[in-house]
Structure 1
Amino acid sequence: MIREELPDGTINQYEYDDAGNRKTSIRGDKTDVFTFNEANQIATKNDIAYQYDTDGNLLQDEHFKYEYNAFGYQTRVTDLQGNEVARYEYDETGLRTKKIVGSQTHEYYYDGDQLSLEIIRINDSIEQYRNYQWEKYTPLGMVIREKDESNNWKEQVYHYWTNQRGDVVSIRDNDGKEVGSYTYDAYGNVLTEVGKVAQANPIRYAGYYFDEETKNYYLQARYYNPANGAFLALDPDSGDNDDPSTQNGYGYTSNNPLKYVDYNGERKYGFLLTFGETAGKWVVKKGKKVWQSGKKVVRKIKTSFVIPKEATNTLKYVKKNGHPKQGYKGGGVYKNSNELLPTNTKYKEYDIFPKKKGENRGAERIVIGENGKAYYTNNHYKTFRTMN
């Protein structure tokens, strides 16, 4: 994307080099000029130097200094004077479980890889519970339970209205009254934020979790800076040799945020308009405004959904070790008898979850070709999604 016109008439323009790095951005009356090193890392922004560690993690930009643990997870942010802005903790799978900002602590609990519950404490006293509701990767709303002035618990239900990309653009109460709203540019910068509920709500652009203290989005695998249109850490996936746009380890959605999203920071882009769909229309279901896609036509290999972390981890393990993890079934021949996948190679299939005694294997698999190409299926080989 090289140009966008915002609802208020403001024009944003972007220029990129051959590697997909943003050389300049003109957003309204603000111009930013970037230079890059050979690793596609931002070397300077408006003559301010950026610093990285040897693993490709951003250590310092024009606003903050960042710290990481041995696993490459961002653990602490300070301002340039060394004052702490935030601290983060993670579980063994890499999901963020805690954020500490001053006297306030946010605890995070997940259903799979989706945020389900957030508990907010002030000085160890629980002040608020937030339950989040999702339909696949589209945020539907949140239920807030908090103490009132009499120290009694009260509950409030809020519904998200989202646009086609999944941005939360409006927040409504159970009566349909708007209590908060946002506008964004194409890269996710918050342009307007109206209402106290909107200020408190962290689920925003593309359904990502917004960290107010840094203005970055937490995408699980990495943090994303919408002001730069770039991630703060290197993508561990080197990209597809047939698609140079995927080989920039810091770029966001191949500079096409009008078409793609990146739900977990692992370069698994989602198409907004997939092959074989019409544009569709807005409809209201159960008091919520949602996007209803047009009629689909047949296509067996899709790229329009996020690949589960378990599938990605299984692929990485098999590629590194040549066999499935202990306790996992896999390595058998996938015959491709219906020719749903390219026929120029042979395939093997692998489970993405460990085998449990007495339980069915389920329908989710990855299939890896001898040529290295991998595919994910969640319906026992009826349709596939490309993984690399």
Structure 2
Amino acid sequence: NDQVKGIAYGNGLVTNYTYTKLGQTSTIRVKNGSTVLLYLAYSYNKTGTVGIVTGNITNTSGVSSKLKDQYRYDQLQRLLYANNTVGSLKTVLQYTYDTLGNRLSQTLNGVSTSYTYDSNNSELKTAMTTNGPSIFYSYYPNGNLKTSNVTVGGNTNHWSYAWNIPGNLLSVTNNTMVQGYYAYDGLGRRIEAKEGASTTFYSYTGTETLSDQFTSGASNNYVYANGLRIARMGEYVSTYYYHVDALGSTRLVTDANHSIVFSDSYQAYGQDNSPSGTEALKFTGKPVSQTTGLYYEYSRWYDPSIGRFISQDSDPGHRSDPQSLNYYVYVQNNPTSNTDPTGHFLIEALIGAAVGAAVGYGWCVASTGGWTSSECGYAALGGAASGALIGLTDGASLLLESGAGAGGALATDELVNTSDFFANTESVTTTITTDTTSSISTGATPVISSTSSGSTISIITDSSGQGASLTSKLFGGEDPLVVRGGLNTPQSLDTALLKGGISANSAPGATVEQLSQGLPHTNIGVTTVGSIRGIGGDVISDATDENPFHVIIVPGPGGTQELSALFDIRPNPWKVPR
């Protein structure tokens, strides 16, 4: 049935797999010689849900701990009870749900949290923990999370979320401190993340991260075999290897010397359980924000603390499956058996062929831009039929046939040719050419340039890793003006951030008069795209039918104080008596 039997890694470690007669993962064993670093044994209920997981896991100090997970479900296969034990740490969780799949209560080691919802659209309104935090949520009209106010002991933290028109998360702010800025390509993929003092740029293969590059000059390239992440290749020929469980969650990361640099078990909905070391790709193999705790699930962001996405699913679901009609719930409340590789499509991860299903679905989304299961579901089925890994020998890193029409040649082209690295926005037709003389897996950095109708877009990263300009550069080689109404004080810019983002007008070749037309303010602030990027900020196109000049300004590390100083305040030419 072409299910993977074993993997020999470049550092000498070996992973072996066994399966049930139904194709479910039975055991996973990671060994360094005769030493078992990770062992997981799965047993299943008659419904196919995971009943018990036993085994052992080794942490970064080399200490091996026994683990045991026990799960119970209701008649709809929704998780009711989870008992996770790692060494001496025991975590017991219990859940109840309403008929729509909304979580009504959670009990964590005896501490209860109750939840309330908007009866019209399943938006989470409150989460109240006994002798703990009280959280109040609000939403934009389109169902995207707007604020979450967390009160503990009389002190309140105000979290706010800003989105662009297609529904991509642009920023997360805690009180007045921005925790993250994000930019996306025309397919809605996150290609830039700015969290704290660190800015990271991403490219993709299907729905998975192919490479990430940091403004410090450091970078990582990821090696896959038919959708299974094998290794991360960093600078100075440093290579790290991923060892995952049946859900694809990263349980261990090892280096070239067999040392464990990351280890984690997880609670059922993805929160950490006895972690040691640090790693960006964790629960179900997805990237987690170090500043917000949110998981980036390709098209939406997932909050493991509430087991929900923070924006609505664009897939309307199916009446034949009522639990799929809830736009926020994660994998229909069965996180021990299912994953959601794109934020839209539930996959039964514990069937070995589901690796192929995830890949088939991912290739469909990447190649067609389809965002619904009706468009790409058949690709997932084709991928499942094609199966998972058929082998990995001699440390070779290659993509094997993934089914659903994505043959080996296409897969290899997608791995080597990163021509979709920085696709343009939906409003611009872009042709991108890429230097593909070196495989990305060798550590070579792609040199990318693109030409669009009406303007030239250059996104150049030389082979030394230097000179990487910020993504979302939609303005060519010139330095366009940026005009924003008002006095643009730090306080007014902070207020704009809290309300969803710092709006302005900008376009190549546009004059101050053109960009200020329609602004109601007596005064305007004028600066340039180059000045904003010079302080580490960015200007992101957010054009609408009503305002084709509209952009979002992302402050640099110096925040709104530094940004405010860039604006030349002058009278609005449309308000000056003529």
The two structures have a TM-score, normalised by structure 1, of 0.68
Contact 1:269–1:304 (CA under 8 A) maintained in structure 2: no
Cα distance change on mapping 1:136 and 1:22 into 2, 3 Å:
farther
1:108 to 202, 215, 221: 202
Aligned to 1:94: 188
Contact 2:187–2:369 (CA under 8 A) maintained in structure 1: no
Cα distance in 1 for residues equivalent to 2:302 and 2:106:
17
Q: What is the Cα deviation at residue 243 of structure 1?
A: 0.3
Q: Give the aligned residue type for 1:95.
A: R
| 1:45-124 → structure 2 map (5 Å cutoff) | 45-46=127-128, 47-61=134-148, 62=150, 64-79=159-174, 81-121=175-215
| 1:104-183 → structure 2 map (5 Å cutoff) | 104-121=198-215, 125-126=216-217, 128-145=218-235, 154-183=236-265
Aligned to 1:27: 108
Cα distance change on mapping 1:137 and 1:45 into 2, 3 Å:
farther
Aligned to 2:347: 270
Cα distance in 2 for residues equivalent to 1:12 and 1:111:
36
In terms of fraction of residues, the more helix-rich structure is 2
Q: What is the Cα deviation at residue 226 of structure 1?
A: 0.4
Q: Give the aligned residue type for 1:172.
A: T
Cα distance in 2 for residues equivalent to 1:120 and 1:192:
28
Contact 2:202–2:213 (CA under 8 A) maintained in structure 1: yes
Q: What is the Cα deviation at residue 314 of structure 1?
A: 5.0
Q: What is the Cα deviation at residue 177 of structure 1?
A: 2.2
Cα distance change on mapping 1:9 and 1:104 into 2, 3 Å:
closer
1:275-326, Cα deviation, whole Å (9 max, x unpaired): xxxxxxxxxxxxxxxxxx5xx8xxxxx799635315774586x99xxxxxxx
Cα distance change on mapping 1:158 and 1:269 into 2, 3 Å:
same
User: What 5-or-longer segments of structure 2 have no aligned partner?
Assistant: 1-78, 129-133, 151-156, 376-381, 383-400, 408-578
1:114-135, Cα deviation, whole Å (9 max, x unpaired): 21111112xxx42x11112233
Contact 1:270–1:305 (CA under 8 A) maintained in structure 2: no
Q: Give the aligned residue type for 2:140.
A: D
1:317-360, Cα deviation, whole Å (9 max, x unpaired): x99xxxxxxxxxxxxxxxxxxxx9xxxxxxxxxxxxxxxxxxxx
Cα distance change on mapping 1:109 and 1:50 into 2, 3 Å:
same
Cα distance change on mapping 1:84 and 1:112 into 2, 3 Å:
same
Aligned to 2:365: 309
1:258 to 336, 340, 351: 336
Q: Give the aligned residue type for 1:60.
A: T
Cα distance change on mapping 1:97 and 1:244 into 2, 3 Å:
same
Cα distance in 1 for residues equivalent to 2:200 and 2:274:
25
Q: Give the aligned residue type for 1:5.
A: N
Q: Give the aligned residue type for 1:77.
A: V
Q: What is the Cα deviation at residue 193 of structure 1?
A: 2.0
Q: Give the aligned residue type for 1:221.
A: S
Cα distance change on mapping 1:194 and 1:40 into 2, 3 Å:
same
Q: Give the aligned residue type for 1:50.
A: Y
Q: What is the Cα deviation at residue 9 of structure 1?
A: 3.1
Q: What is the Cα deviation at residue 40 of structure 1?
A: 0.7
Matched, 1:6 2:6: no
Q: Runs of 4 or more off by more than 4 Å in structure 1?
A: 302-305, 310-316
Cα distance change on mapping 1:84 and 1:132 into 2, 3 Å:
same
Cα distance in 1 for residues equivalent to 2:248 and 2:337:
12
Q: Give the aligned residue type for 1:309.
A: V
1:59-99, Cα deviation, whole Å (9 max, x unpaired): 112362100011111101100x2211110000111000111
Matched, 1:378 2:386: no
In terms of fraction of residues, the more strand-rich structure is 1
Cα distance in 2 for residues equivalent to 1:220 and 1:242:
26
Cα distance in 1 for residues equivalent to 2:187 and 2:405:
21
Q: Give the aligned residue type for 1:170.
A: L
Cα distance in 2 for residues equivalent to 1:254 and 1:244:
10
The two structures have a TM-score, normalised by structure 2, of 0.46
Structure with more relative contact order (C-alpha pairs < 8 Å, separation 6 or more): 2
Aligned to 1:323: none
Cα distance in 1 for residues equivalent to 2:361 and 2:99:
27
Q: Give the aligned residue type for 2:294.
A: N
Cα distance change on mapping 1:103 and 1:116 into 2, 3 Å:
same
1:9-32, Cα deviation, whole Å (9 max, x unpaired): 321111111100001111224422
Contact 2:315–2:371 (CA under 8 A) maintained in structure 1: no
Cα distance in 2 for residues equivalent to 1:246 and 1:216:
22
Q: For residue 51 of structure 1, give the secondary structure of its aligned residue in structure 2.
A: strand
